[in-house]
């Protein structure tokens, strides 16, 4: 039994009563605010703050189910420099950013993209290929400024399976690489009028992955292989000579070759390369593995594949990883609650899916549902992350 | 157009929504708003002042008044101020600040916190 000290009991009873009244009044005013006004308040909150809002009390939570007013367009917002997901539908392109948690936050009509396929995105530019008979067009497109840079057509029966480029098309050292599969690839440098074809010399154990675009990093080209290996070559010096490395952690995460169904290569902001593997697994294992590749000693005379020790990345700290076939980015986080997660270009019922490294599961934004695997969900065809850039206007007589 | 609604309000005797004190705060807003619209820093200062002097009980009345008067800029401004007060704060702090209590069932709240555990990291100290 607790006994209150005497001096507390003798406190002015009127003051206590007043405090109680104030408290009740406060409670009444905030919990009884009309739901559409509560919804307006919540529309200014992003990510972690938005979920805090939903957990306060029942009336606040139910106000969030009302349609949210659009706050500002993605291109003008503070997040305009962080990647947003662009998906090209049959009529319009829609942009999505996880901080806004609202699919179709911004829709733009871009007719130039309707018959083209997005291959790679970096520096605010998209690399696309158009369909054609016996040759197909390759071009750069900037969806923010609507500028287009046409490249010479690629005349070859085989089309590219994966593609990448080194720098913005406005820079003089830009070059584009396209891998056809089975060791054939083509590339073209800025200023060249024709594509040059190459074949990887004598590397029977290595096949470039058909799901992962190569990455140009510090002057060299890195490419993940079908079995999780890594191929590296110097595009400026004998590009057919690929040095092959085997990742020592791959045998630990897969028992069958075909359980890795997606892989991605990303440059981290610290100048390192990360390799991400999505695995189709049962409930017991981790669905996504992230490895940091070590600094490689490139010995161009190396004929046999070498084993490299990769570091398992268990946490991204305060950064977000955005992955898609067309482009993957690792970015610092601004809104609270979005960090240490991998955002995927997958939607179900217009809700975006992300993977949390701390829980080891897939989650839906704005929903309570979480799952260990999502193999039943497809990545939409023409959809990739794109990083906005400050607007640059091309000269009128700009040529590739 | 905005002042038509104000006139209507003053003619409406049975209106208990907006007290005189609130009216004096809301009415000069359009002028002030136009003056300092360009200067973001001053807006921030004004916001801070508002937060210190008015929060939180009066702010609900301000929001309701701005809504009733159909004064969109003021409404957006007040809602943003509330949102800034919630930003980066823990659930407990927000509840205390607005005088709210959780009315969830005990199991329900636990379940919510568990599902959204990823969003509760990195809050400011209470």
Q: Least CB-CB distance to A23: which of B90, B99, B112?
A: B99
Q: Radius of gyration (Cα) for chain B, nearest Å?
A: 18
Contact B118 A341 (CB under 8 A): yes
B49 and B14 share one domain: yes
B54 and B102 share one domain: no
Q: Least CB-CB distance to B60: which of A29, A40, A48?
A: A29
Quote the pTM value. 0.70
Check pLDDT > 80 for residue A38: yes
Residues 247-286 of A with CB under 8 A from B: none
Residue A26 with chain B: CB contacts under 8 Å: 56-57, 98-99
* Residue A395 Ramachandran class (φ > 0 left, ψ -120 to 50 alpha, else beta): beta
CB of B121 within 8 Å of any CB in chain A?
yes
| pLDDT tens track for B63-86 | 887 787 777 777 877 788 888 888
CB of A70 within 8 Å of any CB in chain B?
no
Q: What pLDDT was estimated at residue A100? A: 64
B74 and B123 share one domain: no
B81 and B92 share one domain: no
| pLDDT tens track for A328-345 | 888 777 667 777 888 888
B67 and B96 share one domain: no
B7 and B67 share one domain: yes
Q: What pLDDT was estimated at residue B39? A: 54
CB of A42 within 8 Å of any CB in chain B?
yes
Round the average pLDDT of chain A to a whole number and report it.
77
Contact B63 A359 (CB under 8 A): no
Contact A337 B75 (CB under 8 A): no
User: Which of B86, B124, B125 is the best substitution to test chain A (most A C-beta atoms within 10 A)?
Assistant: B86
Residue B38, min C-alpha distance to chain A (Å): 17
Handedness of CA A82, A87, A88, A94 (dihedral sign): negative
Contact B83 A56 (CB under 8 A): no
User: Which of B54, B57, B60, B102 is the best substitution to test chain A (most A C-beta atoms within 10 A)?
Assistant: B60
Q: Which domain holds residue B120?
A: 88-126
In sequence order, the β-bridge partners of residue A165 are: A176
B82 and B95 share one domain: no
Residue B57 with chain A: CB contacts under 8 Å: 22, 25-26, 29
Going from the C-alpha of A174 to that of each of A83, A160, A342, the distances in angstroms are: 22, 18, 29
B24 and B76 share one domain: yes
B71 and B32 share one domain: yes
B30 and B44 share one domain: yes
CB of B60 within 8 Å of any CB in chain A?
yes
Q: What is the CATH number of the domain that holds B56?
A: 3.30.710.10
Q: Least CB-CB distance to A33: which of B60, B117, B122?
A: B60
Residues 71-90 of B with CB under 8 A from A: 75-76, 79-80, 82-84, 86-90
Q: Least CB-CB distance to A26: which of B86, B89, B99?
A: B99
**Structure tokens of A95?**
């942009």
Check pLDDT > 80 for residue A254: no
B15 and B5 share one domain: yes
Going from the C-alpha of A66 to that of each of A37, B52, B57, B77, the distances in angstroms are: 10, 30, 24, 20
Task: Say if residues A89 and A65 touch (Cβ distance below 8 Å).
Answer: no
CB of A377 within 8 Å of any CB in chain B?
no
Task: Say if residues A143 and A92 touch (Cβ distance below 8 Å).
Answer: no
d(CA A246, CA A255): 16
Q: What pLDDT was estimated at residue A4? A: 43
Q: Pick the residue with more confidence: A369 or A216?
A: A216
Residue A46, min C-alpha distance to chain B (Å): 9
Nearest CA in chain B to A57: B102
B99 and B73 share one domain: no
**Structure tokens of A219?**
């002057």
| pLDDT tens track for A108-130 | 777 877 778 888 988 888 898 88
ipTM above 0.85, yes or no: no
Q: Pick the residue with more confidence: A68 or A83?
A: A83
Number of domains into which chain B is organized: 2
Contact B122 A52 (CB under 8 A): no
Contact B57 A26 (CB under 8 A): yes
Window from A214-223, A357-366, B91-100 with minimum mean pLDDT: A357-366
CB of B112 within 8 Å of any CB in chain A?
yes
Closest CA to A336 of B22, B13, B15, B120: B120
A-to-B residue pairs, Cβ atoms closer than 8 angstroms:
120
Contact B113 A358 (CB under 8 A): no
Mean pLDDT value across residues A4-12: 47
Check pLDDT > 60 for residue A239: yes
CB count, 10 Å around CB of A337?
Answer: 24
Q: For residues A378-399, b (16+ Cβ closer than 10 Å) or e, as one string?
A: ebeebbbbbbbbeeeeeeeeee
Q: What pLDDT was estimated at residue A324? A: 87
Residue B99 with chain A: CB contacts under 8 Å: 22-23, 25-27, 30
Q: How far is CA A219 from the centre of its chain?
A: 23
| pLDDT tens track for B27-51 | 555 555 544 444 556 666 766 676 6
């Amino acid at each position: 039994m607790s006994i209150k000290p005497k001096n507390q009991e003798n406190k002015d009873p009127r003051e206590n009563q007043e405090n109680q009244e104030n408290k009740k009044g406060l409670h009444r005013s905030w919990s009884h605010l009309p739901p559409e006004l509560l919804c307006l308040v919540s529309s200014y909150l992003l990510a972690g703050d938005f979920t805090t809002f939903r957990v306060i009390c029942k009336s606040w939570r139910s106000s969030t189910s009302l349609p949210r007013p659009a706050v500002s367009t993605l291109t003008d917002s503070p997040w305009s420099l962080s990647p947003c997901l662009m998906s090209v539908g049959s009529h319009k392109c829609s942009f999505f950013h996880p901080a806004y948690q609202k699919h179709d936050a911004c829709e733009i009509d871009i007719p130039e993209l309707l018959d083209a396929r997005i291959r790679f995105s970096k520096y605010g530019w998209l690399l696309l290929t158009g369909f054609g008979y016996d040759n197909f067009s390759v071009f750069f497109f900037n969806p923010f400024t609507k500028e287009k840079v046409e490249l010479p057509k690629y005349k070859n029966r085989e089309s590219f399976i994966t593609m990448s480029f080194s720098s913005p098309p406005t820079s003089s050292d830009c070059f584009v690489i396209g891998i056809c599969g089975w060791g054939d690839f083509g590339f073209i440098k800025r200023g060249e009028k024709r594509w040059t074809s190459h074949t990887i010399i004598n590397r029977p154990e290595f096949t470039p992955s058909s799901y992962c675009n190569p990455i140009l990093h510090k002057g060299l080209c890195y490419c993940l292989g079908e079995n999780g290996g890594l191929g590296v070559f110097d595009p400026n010096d004998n590009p057919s000579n690929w040095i092959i490395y085997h990742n020592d952690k791959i045998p630990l995460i897969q028992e069958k070759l075909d359980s890795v169904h997606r892989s991605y290569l990303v440059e981290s902001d610290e100048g390192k390369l990360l390799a991400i593997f999505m695995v189709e697994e049962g409930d017991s294992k981790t669905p996504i593995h992230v490895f940091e590749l070590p600094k490689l000693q490139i010995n161009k005379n190396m004929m046999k594949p070498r084993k490299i020790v990769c570091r398992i990345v268990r946490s991204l700290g305060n950064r977000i990883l955005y992955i898609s076939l067309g482009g993957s980015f690792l970015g610092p986080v601004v809104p609270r609650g979005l960090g240490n997660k991998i955002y995927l270009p997958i939607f179900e019922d217009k809700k975006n899916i992300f993977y949390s490294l701390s829980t080891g599961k897939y989650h839906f934004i704005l929903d309570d549902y979480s799952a260990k695997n999502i193999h039943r969900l497809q990545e939409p065809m023409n959809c990739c992350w794109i990083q906005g850039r400050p607007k640059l206007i091309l000269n009128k007589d700009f040529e590739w | 157009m905005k002042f038509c609604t104000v006139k209507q309000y003053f003619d409406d005797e049975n209106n208990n929504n907006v007290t005189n004190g609130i009216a004096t705060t809301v009415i000069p807003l359009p002028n002030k708003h136009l003056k300092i619209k360009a200067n973001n820093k001053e807006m921030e200062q004004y916001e801070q002042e508002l937060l210190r002097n008015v929060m939180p009980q009066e702010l609900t009345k301000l929001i309701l008044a701005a809504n009733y008067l159909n004064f969109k800029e003021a409404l957006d401004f007040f809602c943003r101020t509330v949102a800034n007060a919630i930003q980066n704060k823990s659930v407990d702090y927000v509840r205390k600040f607005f005088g709210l209590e959780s009315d969830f069932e005990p199991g329900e709240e636990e379940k919510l916190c568990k599902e959204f555990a990823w969003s509760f990291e990195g809050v400011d100290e209470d």
